[in-house]
A and B are shown apart, each in its own frame.
Chain A
Amino acid sequence: MKASSQTDSRILLGTIAVLLACASGAGAYTVNLTPKNPRTIYLQVGVGTFTGGNYQQGGSPATNPLVNLVSVTVPAAQVGNGTAQTMTTNSTASQSLYDSFAFCNLPNQLYVGGFYRSTNGSAGSATATLVANVPASLVSAGGRTIPFSQISWTSSGNGDAGGQPFPGGTFVAGGTQTIGTINRNEWAESCHTFSYSNAAVAPAGTYTGRVTYTLSAP
């Protein structure tokens, strides 16, 4: 199963049915789901909401309107010295809403996950694709800019080994880029640790920008 490298505690949290349903291989956390109505995609970046328990407990996904923040304050003595600065998040989502496993480590990691479920094994597209729509720059109140390409991320998850469904990367400034895919009838999740390259001296200020992630299944 793909979750074969998960810790025992997480495996114990899963049902036998799920374990049998998981494909062997990667070691990142992807889990096969039983097809059922309605055909659904669910995307969670940072905190999310399930009502009535987690997915395994029969809970239902819901909208959570809270947008999380990923931020860093560069120490004055290190501005522009080329030492990458790890960013932190105000997200409180450490547990997977699939099985409540403590998957991400706060405050450095941002949960990115979701599922694509179909009504049967062949209805709809074979995969759902997660893309990020990235502005060209973070902008300060004074109109100064830092290119979004100065922000990168690594991907991991507690108990995981091997490739992640949403692997590490670097934002493409002013572009739309693929973050990963979720196969039909699969739950996939990763934890992203962002960093600012700090490669150039930037004018003093607070720079902000918003990235929109979109999970779509044609």
Chain B
Amino acid sequence: MSKTLLPKMGAAALVAVLAAPLGAYAESNLATGNGALSANANVDFQITIPKFLSLRVGTVGATIDMVSFNVPAANVGNGTPVAGTGGNVGGGAVSAAVLGNSGNVSLQATTGGAISDGTDTIAWSQITTATSNPSLAAPVLANGASGIVTVNAVSGVVNQSATWTYSYTNSAVVPAGTYGGVNVNNGRVTYTASVP
């Protein structure tokens, strides 16, 4: 509304204009007069996104996958890597995925110590992990806690997936036996994702 129109208004209109000056922002507003009229009202919008982090290694849900290596007798300790079997992908491979929305994610793998058959042991360093996605590298397995792998966020969000494929290096002759198992003999690896 133009001030030049004020002389054309009645007293009631003048009071209204004074109560709602041009350019005021409100949820209800009015304008009066014979010329161009304009009234504004604001609305504030708010979206709250909570912090979350999810990690998948293997089958979705509570299932814990098994990856096995069977070394042919003729190849024991000959340095030829042995591919695994099992895993949700098969061939000793598992699906891995990290999704988070609060910056870089730290990944760590933890074992209870060297994998054992009850008497003898094989170091976890003898089991390697290859990734299909360089942006989601797997922690290098160790007897105990591994080093930290950082998954970098893009604009605050991490959304990476990969296939992790395990191999046994078979670099040393070890005593015959079955090492590890279903949560026995240090046969389980626990992966942990964390954000600050």
Q: Footprint of B on A, CB under 8 Å?
A: 37-49, 60-77, 79-80, 87, 91, 110, 114, 119, 123-124, 128, 138, 142, 144, 146, 148, 151, 194, 196, 201-218
A202-B157, A207-B49 are known contacts. Are A42 and B42 too (CB-CB below 8 A)?
Answer: no
Do B51 and A63 have beta carbons less than 8 Å apart?
no
Name the contact of A67 in the complex, choosing from B25, B47, B52 (C-beta under 8 A).
Answer: B25
Counting CB contacts under 8 A, is B10 at the interface?
A: yes
Name the contact of A138 in the complex, choosing from B26, B28, B47 (C-beta under 8 A).
Answer: B47
Name the contact of A47 in the complex, choosing from B9, B27, B45 (C-beta under 8 A).
Answer: B27
Report the separation of the CA atoms of residues A57 and B10 in the bound assembly, to the nearest whole angstrom: 22
A79-B101, A202-B157 are known contacts. Are A44 and B28 too (CB-CB below 8 A)?
Answer: yes
By beta carbon, the residue of chain A nearest B21 is A63
- Looking at chain A's contact residues, the main secondary structure is strand
Query: How big is chain B's contact interface, by range?
Result: 35 or more
Do A201 and B157 have beta carbons less than 8 Å apart?
yes
Distance in angstroms from B170 CB to nearest chain A CB is 41
How many A-B pairs fall under 8 Å by CB?
204
Do B48 and A74 have beta carbons less than 8 Å apart?
yes
Do A208 and B45 have beta carbons less than 8 Å apart?
yes
Do A79 and B42 have beta carbons less than 8 Å apart?
no
Do B102 and A203 have beta carbons less than 8 Å apart?
yes
Can you report 16 residue pairs joining A to B where beta carbons are below 8 Å apart?
Answer: A37-B10, A39-B32, A39-B34, A40-B30, A42-B28, A64-B28, A72-B48, A74-B49, A75-B50, A79-B52, A201-B159, A202-B47, A212-B25, A215-B39, A216-B37, A217-B36
